[in-house]
Amino acid sequence: MTMVVAILQARTGREEALAAALREVAERTREEPGALAYAVGRQEGGGRFLVTERYADRRAREAHFASSYVTDLLARFPELLADEPQVEFTDVVTAFAR
């Protein structure tokens, strides 16, 4: 199992556009084979977002990042983000869901 953790800082005035784009990607990711979890958190009252993703394996993760809706979102990052995204790719050591 593999996971992705990303920290995104929205440009001032683009917070809602980023939130909407992340919600759309989350909904579409739900249908991907091998996608186990996708969550987006937002700093209270701010423009800082934390995205956590979990995939069955690296192939599923790579398919996710190759999808048109993810590449479209990545192409919009210059207009949506104040800084470069901080992204980590890891193997899962332990996880649970309720």
What tens digit of pLDDT does each residue of 18-71 get? 999 999 999 999 999 999 999 999 998 889 999 999 999 999 999 999 999 999
Residue ranges covered by each domain of the chain: 2-91
| 97: pLDDT strictly greater than 80 | no
Mean pLDDT of the 5-10 span: 98
Residue 96: per-residue pLDDT: 83
Burial 64-80 (b: 16+ CB within 10 A, else e): beeeeebeebeeeeeeb
Residue 45: per-residue pLDDT: 80
Residue 98: per-residue pLDDT: 80
Q: Are 42 and 22 in contact (CB under 8 A)?
A: no
Indicate the CATH number of 2-91 among 3.30.465.10, 3.60.150.10, 3.40.50.2300, 3.30.70.100.
Answer: 3.30.70.100
Sort residue 35 into left (φ over 0), alpha (ψ -120 to 50) or beta. Answer: beta
Residue 52: per-residue pLDDT: 97
| 90: pLDDT strictly greater than 90 | yes
Q: Are 85 and 44 in contact (CB under 8 A)?
A: no
Helix 68-80 with 15-29: angle, nearest 10 deg: 170
